């Protein structure tokens, strides 16, 4: 990030004065297609898509050097089953059954990759039909379990990735996934195959809800036309549709409701992420999640000892994170940014990470975003009920350090 981009970004958030960005997006009739890597900079992406929270598609030229596009794919553009079996055949992977719906999602099982590929071959030979239903490999943590050298290179546009930076620092987990599946299964790079995307801008998903407040399992279902089931459906504009070809990369902005279908046998690499541009959205989401949990167990509030603590435990089990872990997430990213500013290095070089080339301006921007959100966190009544006596540093101390750093970097 250069200084001009940082000033532009801080002006954007300064104008919001702590509020969330508007959920009303500019009316779009298409998703932009970015064709040439050499004429599209990080600043172009940051100011044109990441900051305004708009989707875009990158051409296959951005991923043409990836080893997975060469090794995982046959000359005819199909999955290279022989290579995958030879290199990953004994790996146990998660597989979802698209034909079964449980709580608005698909049940999962685990099997060796060779068994899944055996099923996939049979599915293809059976004219894309099987008595076992339509299975697809989902959320395989390839990057956590194997070196990604020769598989893919993280594009600089997505290198400000706090979520995976946090988990990498803890050496526990990650949010980088490989998906594989046959035709008809449901950020994302297609290594091979084609996908159909349906995008709904933030807020539009509310018009899709049924009379009970639930979101549809399938946005193409004819049941959405039934006004008795979906009384607000007429208030939803048609989705933006994108067909993603092999090698292309889709940027899915924060808060955009979307649905994806495989049009062909497909392998994709997907990457969930959080950074300074959508940190406030993450904090807003966590507050909503806690309120939902509290509402579900409100009848035991006066009789359950330590009710507020139990709500945080339930929230962690449902959402994977609670207020305590959110603070630790902010703390780790903040400390890494403070360290690299002190040493004058780029964000990716902190504690041995790969150099992203984003530089101290990105670090200064990140610190300003963490400071603003942390200021909201520490005054939240439910966070104040969290026992922070063993936290190091204490939240108020970290907030003071961040504010001092923000002041010191104004002339950077």
- Same-domain status, 140 and 196: yes
250: phi then psi, degrees, rounded to nearest 5: -105, 130
Mean pLDDT of the chain: 87
Q: Read off the pLDDT band of 181 (50, 70, 90).
A: low
- Same-domain status, 266 and 305: no
Reference 8, options 34, 41, 40, 46; nearest CA is 46
Does some domain include residue 224?
Answer: no
pLDDT confidence of residue 337: 95
Does some domain include residue 130?
Answer: yes
Does some domain include residue 78?
Answer: yes
- Same-domain status, 267 and 391: no
- Among 271, 295, 317, where does a domain finish? 271
- Same-domain status, 331 and 401: yes
Angle between helices 323-343 and 359-378 (to 10 degrees): 150
Residue-wise pLDDT tens digits, 101-137: 665 566 789 999 999 999 999 999 998 878 888 898 9
CB contact at 8 A, 268 and 152: no
Cα 71 from Cα 2, distance rounded (Å)? 36
- Identify each DSSP E strand in 219-342 by its residue range: 240-244, 249-251, 257-262, 266-271
pLDDT confidence of residue 142: 81
pLDDT confidence of residue 265: 93
Q: Read off the pLDDT band of 386 (50, 70, 90).
A: very high
- Same-domain status, 162 and 48: yes
- Same-domain status, 101 and 35: yes
- Same-domain status, 351 and 307: yes
Does some domain include residue 210?
Answer: no
242: phi then psi, degrees, rounded to nearest 5: -135, 135
pLDDT confidence of residue 165: 87
Does some domain include residue 216?
Answer: no
Residue 146, domain CATH: 2.60.120.650
Paired sense of beta strands 257-262 and 108-112, if any: unpaired
pLDDT confidence of residue 128: 82
Paired sense of beta strands 56-58 and 32-34, if any: parallel
pLDDT confidence of residue 186: 40
Residue 372: is its pLDDT beyond 60? yes
- Same-domain status, 106 and 248: yes
Tokens encoding 189? 């790079």
Q: Read off the pLDDT band of 352 (50, 70, 90).
A: very low
- Per the listing, tokens 């969930």 go with 272
Q: From its phi and psi, is residue 221 left (phi > 0), alpha (psi between -120 and 50) or beta? A: beta
Does some domain include residue 42?
Answer: yes
Max mean pLDDT range (38-47, 224-233, 271-280) = 38-47
Q: Read off the pLDDT band of 170 (50, 70, 90).
A: confident
pLDDT confidence of residue 67: 93
pLDDT confidence of residue 397: 98
- Same-domain status, 161 and 184: yes
Residue-wise pLDDT tens digits, 61-110: 999 999 999 999 999 999 999 999 999 999 999 998 877 766 556 678 99
CB contact at 8 A, 31 and 240: yes
Name the residue range of residue 391's domain. Answer: 279-408
- Per the listing, tokens 């049940």 go with 107
Residue-wise pLDDT tens digits, 190-245: 999 999 999 999 888 888 888 888 888 788 888 888 888 888 888 888 899 999 99
- Same-domain status, 184 and 308: no
- Same-domain status, 352 and 248: no
Does some domain include residue 220?
Answer: no
Residue-wise pLDDT tens digits, 296-343: 999 999 999 999 999 999 999 998 899 999 999 999 999 999 998 988
pLDDT confidence of residue 54: 93
CB contact at 8 A, 187 and 250: yes
pLDDT confidence of residue 391: 97
- Same-domain status, 42 and 92: yes
Residues in a beta bridge with 243: 196
What total number of domains does the chain contain?
2
Reference 353, options 367, 365, 343; nearest CA is 343
- Among 229, 255, 271, where does a domain finish? 271
Does some domain include residue 361?
Answer: yes
For 145-158, what is the mean pLDDT?
81
Q: Read off the pLDDT band of 346 (50, 70, 90).
A: low
- Among 248, 271, 294, where does a domain finish? 271
């Amino acid at each position: 990030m250069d200084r001009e981009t940082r000033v532009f970004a801080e002006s954007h958030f300064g104008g919001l004065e702590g509020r969330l960005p508007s959920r009303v997006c500019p009316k779009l009739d298409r998703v932009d297609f970015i064709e040439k890597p050499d004429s599209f900079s990080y600043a172009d992406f940051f100011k044109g898509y990441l900051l305004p929270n708009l989707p875009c598609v990158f051409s296959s030229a951005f991923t043409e050097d990836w080893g997975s596009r060469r090794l995982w794919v046959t000359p005819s553009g199909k999955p290279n089953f022989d290579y995958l079996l030879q290199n990953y055949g004994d790996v146990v992977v998660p597989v979802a059954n698209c034909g079964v719906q449980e709580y608005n999602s698909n049940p999962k099982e685990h099997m060796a990759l060779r068994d899944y590929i055996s099923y996939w071959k049979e599915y293809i030979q059976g004219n894309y039909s099987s008595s076992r239903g339509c299975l697809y490999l989902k959320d395989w943590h390839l990057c956590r379990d194997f070196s990604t050298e020769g598989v893919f290179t993280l594009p600089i546009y997505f290198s400000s990735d706090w979520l995976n930076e946090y988990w990498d620092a803890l050496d526990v987990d990650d949010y980088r996934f490989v998906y594989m599946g046959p035709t008809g299964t449901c950020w994302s790079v297609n290594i091979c195959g084609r996908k159909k995307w349906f995008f709904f801008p933030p807020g539009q998903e509310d018009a899709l809800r049924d009379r009970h407040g639930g979101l549809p399992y399938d946005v193409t279902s004819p049941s959405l036309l039934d006004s008795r089931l979906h009384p607000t459906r007429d208030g939803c504009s048609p989705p933006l549709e994108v067909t993603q070809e092999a090698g292309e990369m889709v940027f899915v902005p924060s808060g955009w409701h979307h649905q994806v279908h495989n049009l062909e046998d497909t392998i994709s690499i997907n990457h969930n992420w959080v950074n300074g541009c959508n940190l406030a959205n993450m904090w807003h989401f966590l507050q909503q999640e806690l309120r939902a949990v509290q509402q579900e167990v409100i009848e035991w509030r006066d009789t359950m000892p330590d009710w507020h603590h139990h709500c945080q435990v339930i929230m962690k089990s449902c959402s994977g994170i609670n207020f305590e872990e959110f603070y630790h997430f902010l703390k780790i990213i903040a400390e890494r940014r403070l360290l690299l500013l002190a040493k004058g290095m780029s964000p990716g070089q902190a504690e041995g990470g790969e150099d992203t080339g984003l530089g101290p301006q990105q670090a200064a921007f990140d610190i300003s975003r963490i400071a603003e959100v942390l200021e909201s966190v520490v005054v939240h009544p439910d966070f104040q009920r969290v026992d922070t006596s063993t936290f190091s540093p204490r939240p108020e101390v970290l907030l003071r350090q961040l504010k001092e750093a923000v002041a010191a970097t104004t002339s950077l």
